[in-house]
Amino acid sequence: MRGYISSLLVISVVLKLCYGFVHPIAIHGRYFIDTVTREPFFVKGVDYQPGGSSAVNEQQDPLSDPNACARDIILFQELGVNTIRVYSINPDLNHDHCMTLLASAGIYLVLDVNSPLENQHLNRYEPWTTYNEDYLEHVFKVIEQFSSYNNTLGFFAGNEIINDKKSARASPVFVKKLISDMKTYIAQHSPRFVPVGYSAADDLSYRISLSKYLECSNERSIQDAVDFYGVNTYQWCGEQTFYTSGYDVLVADYEDYVRPVFFSEFGCNEVTPRLFEEIGTIYSNDMIGVFSGGLVYEFSQEPNNYGLVEINQYGNVELLQDFESLKNQYATTDVPNGRQVAELYNRDGKKQKLGAQAIPECDEEYDNLDISKTVDEGIAEDLIKEGVDSKKGKYVVLQEDDFYTSYNITNVDGTPFSGDKYVKVTTLIDGITEYEALRLQALESDGE
Sheet hosting strand 31-34, strand order edge to edge: 25-28, 31-34, 40-41
**Cβ distance 88 to 53 under 8 Å?**
yes
Give the residue extent of every domain in the chain.
25-446
Residue 354: per-residue pLDDT: 54
Residue 355: per-residue pLDDT: 53
Annotation says 318 is catalytic: no
Residue 15: per-residue pLDDT: 40
Q: How far is CA 221 from CA 183, 224, 344, in A?
A: 10, 8, 31
Catalytic residue among 78, 144, 160, 298: 160
Query: For the purposes of burial, counting CB atoms within 10 Å of the CB of 351, is it exposed (0-12), middle (13-18) or buried (19 or more)?
Result: exposed
Residue 13: per-residue pLDDT: 43
Residue 418: per-residue pLDDT: 87
Q: Any residues with CB less than 8 A from the CB of 206 and at least 6 apart, and which?
A: 162, 163, 168, 200, 368, 369
Residue 398: per-residue pLDDT: 87
**Cβ distance 138 to 155 under 8 Å?**
no
How far, in Å, CA of 23 to CA of 427, rounded?
9
How far, in Å, CA of 278 to CA of 330, rounded?
11
How far, in Å, CA of 348 to CA of 369, rounded?
38
φ, ψ dihedrals at 430, nearest 5°: -100, 95
Q: Any residues with CB less than 8 A from the CB of 196 and at least 6 apart, and which?
A: 154, 155, 157, 179, 182, 183, 186, 226, 227
How far, in Å, CA of 149 to CA of 63, rounded?
13
Residues forming beta bridges with residue 230, ordered by sequence position: 199, 262
Residue 427: per-residue pLDDT: 66
Residue 421: per-residue pLDDT: 87
Residue among 290, 350, 334 at smallest CA distance from 31? 290
Residue among 229, 141, 250 at smallest CA distance from 179? 229
Q: Which residues of the chain have pLDDT under 50?
A: 1-19, 351, 429-448
Judge if the upstream peptide bond of residue 273 is cis by omega within 30 degrees of 0.
yes
Annotation says 265 is catalytic: yes
Residues forming beta bridges with residue 294, ordered by sequence position: 44, 263
Catalytic residue among 215, 265, 278, 298: 265
Q: How far is CA 124 from CA 155, 235, 287, 369, in A?
A: 19, 25, 32, 13
**One-letter amino acid for residue 202 of the chain:** D
What's the pTM value of the predicted model, to 2 decimals?
A: 0.91
φ, ψ dihedrals at 421, nearest 5°: -105, 35
Q: Any residues with CB less than 8 A from the CB of 147 and at least 6 apart, and which?
A: 186, 189, 190, 191, 192, 194
How far, in Å, CA of 278 to CA of 266, rounded?
9
- CB hemisphere CA count around 259 (13 angstroms): 23
Residue among 152, 143, 186 at smallest CA distance from 83? 152
Residue among 202, 221, 222 at smallest CA distance from 210? 202
Name the helix (H) or strand (E) containing 231.
Answer: strand 228-232
Query: For the purposes of burial, counting CB atoms within 10 Å of the CB of 414, is it exposed (0-12), middle (13-18) or buried (19 or more)?
Result: exposed
Residue among 347, 350, 324 at smallest CA distance from 413? 324
**Cβ distance 369 to 173 under 8 Å?**
no
25-446: CATH architecture: Alpha-Beta Barrel (3.20)
DSSP state of 422: B
- Helix extents (H) in 116-269: 133-146, 165-170, 172-189, 207-215, 247-254
